[in-house]
Amino acid sequence: MEDISEGPTSSLLASSSAVSEGQGEGDAQASLLLISWNVAGWASTKALVQRHYGSLDKYLERLGSPAILCLQETKVQEKDMKNEVAAKSLGALLENYRSFWSFNLASNRDGKGVATWVRKDIPCLGATQSVLGIPDFDNQGRLLATDHGDFVVVNVYAPFVGNSGSQEVEAKLRFLEALQTALERLRQGGRKRVFLCGDLNLTHRLEDQQLLRRVVKFDGEGLLRVHNKELGPYEDWCDSWVSSKEVSARAEVPAEELSAEAECVHVRESGCVPWLRKMVQPPKLSEWADVFAEVHPDAKDRFTAWSQTANLRYVNLGTRIDYVLCDRATFQDCVVASSANALAGGEKPVSSPSSLSSSSLSSSSSSLAGTALPLPEDGGPLEARSDQKGPTPTATASTLSSQAALNAATNFGGWHASASFGIARGEGLGLQVDDMRLNDSQFPARPHTGLIYTPPAYSDHIAVSVLLKRAPLLSPPQASPNSSSPEPWAGEAASASSSLSETSTKRSQPWTMQRGIASFFGGGGGAFGARGNSSSNSS
């Protein structure tokens, strides 16, 4: 397939210049920014972006003009993009980007869906949602691959299991194993660089959730041995993983005493955590790198997702389940190891004037801004209420500390839980949605490898960012001379030339199918023939 990319169209497309902090101060190199974000429903997120910043184009410019943007859980269906008007309303057609989409084609047609925006100066040979070559998985809209010549980006939204039974766990493990097989195939024996971006719905380190969220295993008799102490027996906990919070409350022992026996909350998904650990552990030696964990190994309580219904972002009781992974050679050659000082939350920035009228914000919003954030102390549900006692954001903190992570998650207390008493009872996030002093804090001072603390109203997840050195990224890695070169694409995506089929790319852009029909009747252009004309308007 031909390269469907376009040359630079404006200064917005110029590569960002950043210090390669992993190789010493002053060694400035042209860089490219990659961002991955679970938006938990793109239509509502897009509406807020449009309302706050005028257009998606302008918002992306404020984020640092990412070369590639991967979104998960879009909840957009193929029928929602049946023509260009519908596609533009969802931001699919932008002046400086082109986008590709993966849809849930299964019978249930529920959520899911992923999408990838590629800046027009970045080579792109095509896209497909047929990544695994297994229709039962590929048709769920959980995967999308974009081929950029020397590198491939795989956008993923892995299954969420929760309290589901063993069949769901087994299905998730099969999905993950098939995904790893596809990633290895895409590497072509080391001839391509590969990125995996998205929500894996998994943690693999204890640091990826606070102690209260970790779990401990009771034996078949309902006993747990901790520090030569025996807890139990508890008949209802026989042969079960139980949260440290529940055990601490019931056994009346400090949660800290359970830390030696604690495990990741997702260890209950048998086989899934070991799968991820085998891929990315130990750091610096594994075949795949968990970019954030390796660049910021000492950062504490840096999570990417929180329960909105329980208000857990406001106590920073979350999990890190969103990732950018890449093959080891690409990590060593291309990833910029940003300083810990680039992480948000270390020092409260000087407030800037709001760019949006704040007339909709009542005085009760201001009175809530300094409310202390709670940490649950009993055995009840984990939720944040403004009348509970808990950790309080501070003006300064070490960027690697838990305090800085809390500062970042709450914007130094600016984002807070709903009040449960007084005249502001029930009011909280709704009053903060259009406060642009809060919303503008999401934009980093400069592109970096780390996290972007997007507003709580936008999603219950925040974005993961990776800064990449442009020159090595756009050149192939040094493959072993004896390495094999399997066909990179499988199933519908495969073509005789070992490149993506044009059909699979068109299916990721449903609005082009309509143009193809129009061109048959003399409208001209076709799917790629009128590049640039169809995407001249921002959305």
**Apex CA 139: angle with CA 134 and CA 141, to 5°?**
120
CA atoms within 13 A on the CB side of 67: 26
| Residue 158 buriedness (CB in 10 A; 0-12 / 13-18 / 19+) | buried
Measured in degrees and rounded to the nearest 5, phi and psi for residue 92 equal: -75, -25
Residue 155, annotated as binding a ligand: no
CA distance 515 to 501: 18
Q: Spell out the SS3 assignment of 266-330.
A: HHHCCCHHHHHHHHHCCCCCCCEEEHHHHHCCCCCCCCCECCCCCCHHHHCCCECCEEEEEEHHH
Q: Work out the number of other CB atoms within 10 angstroms of the CB of residue 446.
A: 15
- Please indicate if the annotation marks 460 as binding a ligand: no
Q: Which helix (H) or strand (E) holds 329?
A: helix 328-334
Please give the angle made by the CA atoms of 188, 189 and 191, to the nearest 5 degrees. Answer: 65
* CA dist., res. 354 & res. 332, Å (int): 41
CA-to-CA distance for 155 and 115, rounded, in angstroms? 8
| Nearest partner of 398 among 295, 297, 300, judged by Cα | 300
Report residue 287 as tokens: 């075949």
Residue with tokens 């093959």: 327
Give yes or no for a contact between 182 and 132, defined as CB atoms under 8 angstroms apart.
yes
Q: Among positive and negative, which fits the CA dihedral 383, 387, 388, 389?
A: positive
| Distance, CA of 274 to CA of 213 (rounded, Å) | 19
Task: For residues 283 and 292, give the distance between their C-alpha atoms in angstroms, rounded to a whole number.
Answer: 11
Angle at 58 between CA 57 and CA 62, to 5 degrees: 120
What is the chain's Cα-based Rg? 24
User: How many C-beta neighbours within 10 Å does residue 275 have?
Assistant: 18
Q: Which amino acid, 315?
A: V
d(C-alpha 203, C-alpha 303), whole Å: 10
Distance CA 174, CA 172 (A): 5
**Structure tokens, 207:** 């640091």
Cα separation, 125 vs 414, whole angstroms: 44
33 pairs with which residues across the strands? 467
The pair of three-digit structure tokens given for residue 136, joined into one six-digit string: 């039962």
According to the annotation, is 38 in a ligand binding site? yes
How far apart (Å, rounded) are the C-alpha atoms in residues 196 and 194? 7
* 338 vs 452: CA distance, rounded Å: 13
- 382 in Cβ contact with 245 (< 8 Å): yes
Q: Which residues are annotated as a binding site for Mg(2+)?
A: 38, 73, 199, 201
Q: Which residues are annotated as a binding site?
A: 38, 73, 199, 201
